[in-house]
Structure 1
Amino acid sequence: MNILMALSQLEVTGAEVYGVTLADELINRGNKIMIVSDTLTKKCKAEYIKLEFNKRGLGNRINQVKTLLKIIRENNIQVVHAHSRASSWSSAIACKIAGIPLVTSTHGRQPVHLSRKVFKAFGDLTIPVCENIQTHLVNDLGVNPNKSVVLRNPIDTSLYSFEAKEDKKEKKIISIIGRLSGPKGDVAYSLLEVLSAIDNLHIRIIGGKDIPEKFIKFKNLENIEFLGYVNDVPNKIKESDIIIGAGRVAVEAILSGCPVIAVGEAKYIGCITPNNLSEGLKSNFGDIDFSEQIIIDSKTLTSDIETALNLTNENLLNLREMTTDEFDLYKIVDKIEKIYSKTYVEKKKYEIPVIMYHRVVNDESEAGVHGTYITAKKFDEHMRFLKENGYETITFKELKKLNWRNRFNREKKLIMLTFDDGYE
């Protein structure tokens, strides 16, 4: 299929990693993928076109819709998959005009106001990455529960090798991974206020282009290191004794065998163990919840650090196995491909036709009592019609060999002929 991914971002986000990971795997499966976004920091096999969704004035919105329509028409795009509010707004209008389906992924909590309730822009189907987001969409924005399905961030779990813990370092490395702007920045600041006073810890802050002014007081402390944005996050995770983060960061750490203290912009969960993993999954490890505020106190955090350092390799391996099952790239992409196909068929009312015959008889004297027959003369007329109108017959085995994703290729008029009830 021909799929357009739409993102809106000014710095690297979990949504971008999600989109790029999904795009590369879809390309591996024979799909054609294009990406439109303000920026694209991650390497990707897909063709990238710059489109500044973060410019939200009316004139900008109109130009975005025009550009999207041009891309859709010139590249025979069959499905648009948007990964942010800004991109989904413009994509919803473009898809409506073009008559193609829009699928959205919802990565975080959405603003609740009248315009959002009236013009939801969640497309034909939305994919929230955790259960709390789905609850929020249904309860607060009136999204039809039948128009959403929870699928977690697709991750190639084979890229993260489990490494058994070795308790050799006297000074433990705790890495806080995430942006320093917005609510995540507020959480990072609260964490540093507590952690900076704990002995025998080396604190790494990973993420964010610049250091906000309020963090300057921590910069000159001997036990705190600001690394900024880094490309080799998996290696930084392996170097750490504990990871503090939410969302994809928490998942990557668990897969690598590193203890995780889950805290996001919405909830403090604490040290993840096999017993509270489900709570972590539900809130995307603290990023989505309905709590009024996050409380990070010294006593709780210190206790969670001790719990994390005391997790056994058996505990950590069990966590990895449970997490792998939830985030497996290939299982999730299988489901997303089926969503693309289903929404396209429902929107375009187009699929390979299947004609179900029963018996072919010479004349009606051979008809039998059930009437499930066609005469050889009429059957010949059918076959001539199909041939003269450019139809090509295909079997299920041939379709699998052809690559079933190509069944929507308008250059071929595929059709299946079946004969039911075992008639030869």
Structure 2
Amino acid sequence: MRILHVLSAEFFAGSVAYAVSLAEAHRAQGHAVWLVADSDQLPTGATQVQAPIGNRRYGQRLRNARLIRQLIQTEHIDVVHAHSRAASWVSYVALRGLKVPLVSTVHGRQHLHASTSLFDIYGDTVIAICGNLREHLITEVKMAPAKIVEIPNGITFQNEEFASAVADVAGTNNSSGEPLRLAFIGRFNGGKGERAAALLQQVFPTLLREFTALRLALIGGELEHLPAAGKAALAQVQAEFGERIEVVGFTKDVVGWLARTSLVIGAGRVAIEALGAGRAVLALGESSYAGLVTEATFATAAASNFGDISARQSPSEVDFATLLADARAFLLAPQPVAAALCQRVRARYSLATVAARVLETYQAARMRKAVPNFIPVLMYHKIPDAPLATKHQIYVTKENFEKHLAYFKQHKLTPITFVDYLQFASGERPLTDFPPRPIILTFDDGYTDNYTNLLPLMQQYGYRGVLYLLGDFDVRYNRWDADFDPSEPRSEIMDAAQKRAFVAAGWEIGAHTMSHPRLTTLPLPEAAAEIQRSKTALEAALQTQLVSFAYPYGDLNEDVKEAVRAAGFAFGVATDTGGLHLEDDRMQVFRVNMFPNETAGSLFKKTATWYRKYYRWKRKK
């Protein structure tokens, strides 16, 4: 893709680090990236263009918008990503009348004035970095929930061996030869500066007196902007404790300082980096104090971005006596961060994971703009020669299925696959080639009649579909039905050679678990294994990449959906649940069930762009 980031970069804040990290991650994957920012000296290999984005005077804003629009048109940009309200404003103006989507990451609470609600300058999709921020945007800013996705800031963590080594010495630092050290890491201006000043007045002197070996490190930029009371308190502790006070200021070696620190006080990116490095964290941010982060408190702390963001407008009072007590308790008995918590943080905030989710968001915004209507995804199973004596009406006879294909051809419906869709979404294929009336034809289980009847008919019409197969090739009939119901006919499943014929014909293969269980009835590790193993087995046996997964029986929940995403699938297809648009939730794509006796009228309805809205209205699903 061709990606343009727009950001205010008057100083190297967390939002700037986030934008630069994304730029580098996407460049490493082969995407072309540009940055328009106040500075053109940011640490990235992306093409940089200097513009005073932080200048809020309207004349300058319009000049910024004009520059951005020209860049978009000249460089054929696919998506614009803004990283502040000022950046969103100029990007929104620049994109007026163009078919290029705007994605905005919101890093903090927005000012609640009339223009915030009246003018939707944030564009097509908004990334909220934590749960509290998403709630704030919905309840206080009145933003449509459907346009908000929650994706945290990404971090490039050190390797696992580093984390283990750090955790080993986190308790006492004795094995590393380092003294007991407490570090405040964060900016010293604004709200963070006020927190630092309060700590210097109310917390640090007491701890330094009680723990005579304790050292205090003050790490972060804008130290000259520390509030006056904080500067006075800093001078006092320096006079009293001398070299035990380490005023580091801005440093590029935060990781090195984390390795020498027992307890970190910080929020946002600082807390994430520290936890990922195995360091204990007292989560103190501009909004609140979230306490010592443990496995039990992690979810609540993460929702506030570790103290930086509240869900509702409220006073940001902090009980520093409680914070002092928590710090004292830890320093009396230092403990490393639990390995499970360290791994959880690394999994959630890994830059690779976050960059992939952001790229998916770009693609989704692009496709929503280019293809705003519902794309029918039709669900078939068996294609027998004659009607079947079954209570499960999951077949369409060969004769009737040919009528379906003739209808699609007559009405200029073009079957595509999920692989095709991803190629358009990623920019690999031009959107000008996207068919005006797309449909996706899917077939579950891999019955033998798919090989004898379905494949020849589809080839006759020049169509390709998506075939969902079990990973266990030893399953040769529908035992999940026939073995539990004597009245249900036994239907044979294709052998390996027949399945390979679909790959040779250009079909997309998708996974359908190993053995066709109801995934939500299994323990989550077992369900995740069914999902992951089916992908691995099918890719190895058929030598084709799998991008989509079909839930047996349409049985799913949020944990199962997350397991599908974690297994590396780009799409999870359901049955009769899902969004109005394919991009509403790629892990729960709505499919239209096809029955034995479809008519021209029902085919018209089920392939219409309005069908999903009609179905939701009628069935409330």
1:176 to 2:208 alignment: no
Deviation at 1:419, TM superposition (A): 9.1
Deviations 1:93-131 (A, max 9, x none): 112232311111111111100111111322111011101
Larger RCO of the pair (alpha carbons < 8 Å, separation 6+): 1
Q: Which residue of 2 aligns with 1:204?
A: 217
Deviation at 1:371, TM superposition (A): 2.7
Pick the structure with greater CA Rg: 2
Aligned AA (1:139): T
Q: Which sections of structure 1, spanning at least 5 residues, go unmatched?
A: 357-366, 387-392
TM-score, normalised to structure 2, is: 0.58
Q: What SS does structure 2 have at the residue aligned with 1:104?
A: strand
Conserved in 2, the CA contact under 8 Å of 1:260 and 1:308?
A: no
Distance in 2 between residues matched to 1:228 and 1:41, nearest whole Å: 21
Gap change, CA 1:92 and 1:403, over 3 Å in 2? closer
Q: Which residue of 1 aligns with 2:265?
A: 244
Deviations 1:259-315 (A, max 9, x none): 1111000101121111111111010000002441232424542333422663534x4
Deviations 1:360-395 (A, max 9, x none): xxxxxxx956534569xx99xx9xxx9xxxxxx999
1:312 to 2:327 alignment: no
Distance in 1 between residues matched to 2:417 and 2:341, nearest whole Å: 44
Aligned AA (2:262): D
Q: Which residue of 1 aligns with 2:83?
A: 83
Gap change, CA 1:41 and 1:109, over 3 Å in 2? farther
Deviation at 1:256, TM superposition (A): 0.8
Gap change, CA 1:118 and 1:203, over 3 Å in 2? same
Gap change, CA 1:323 and 1:399, over 3 Å in 2? same
1:234 to 2:255 alignment: yes
Distance in 1 between residues matched to 2:222 and 2:405, nearest whole Å: 72
Q: What SS does structure 1 have at the residue aligned with 2:224?
A: coil
Conserved in 2, the CA contact under 8 Å of 1:259 and 1:316?
A: no
Deviations 1:24-49 (A, max 9, x none): 11112221111111126652121111
Q: Which residue of 1 aligns with 2:44?
A: 44
Deviation at 1:333, TM superposition (A): 2.2
Conserved in 2, the CA contact under 8 Å of 1:2 and 1:77?
A: yes
Aligned AA (2:329): E
TM-score, normalised to structure 1, is: 0.84
Conserved in 1, the CA contact under 8 Å of 2:81 and 2:105?
A: yes
Q: Which residue of 2 aligns with 1:330?
A: 352
How many residue pairs match? The answer is 399
Distance in 2 between residues matched to 1:43 and 1:394, nearest whole Å: 41
Deviations 1:166-208 (A, max 9, x none): 5226852111111111111000100111202332332111112
Gap change, CA 1:141 and 1:395, over 3 Å in 2? closer
1:347 to 2:338 alignment: no
Indicate the RMSD between aligned Cα atoms, in angstroms: 3.4
Q: What SS does structure 2 have at the residue aligned with 1:211?
A: helix
Gap change, CA 1:267 and 1:394, over 3 Å in 2? closer
Deviation at 1:407, TM superposition (A): 2.6
Gap change, CA 1:77 and 1:157, over 3 Å in 2? same
Conserved in 2, the CA contact under 8 Å of 1:127 and 1:151?
A: yes
1:195 to 2:196 alignment: no
Distance in 2 between residues matched to 1:399 and 1:139, nearest whole Å: 34
Gap change, CA 1:417 and 1:99, over 3 Å in 2? closer
1:294 to 2:317 alignment: yes
Deviations 1:234-275 (A, max 9, x none): 111111111110001001001111111110001011211111
Deviation at 1:141, TM superposition (A): 0.8
Conserved in 2, the CA contact under 8 Å of 1:250 and 1:262?
A: yes
Q: Which sections of structure 2, spanning at least 5 residues, go unmatched?
A: 379-397, 443-453, 460-621
1:54 to 2:75 alignment: no
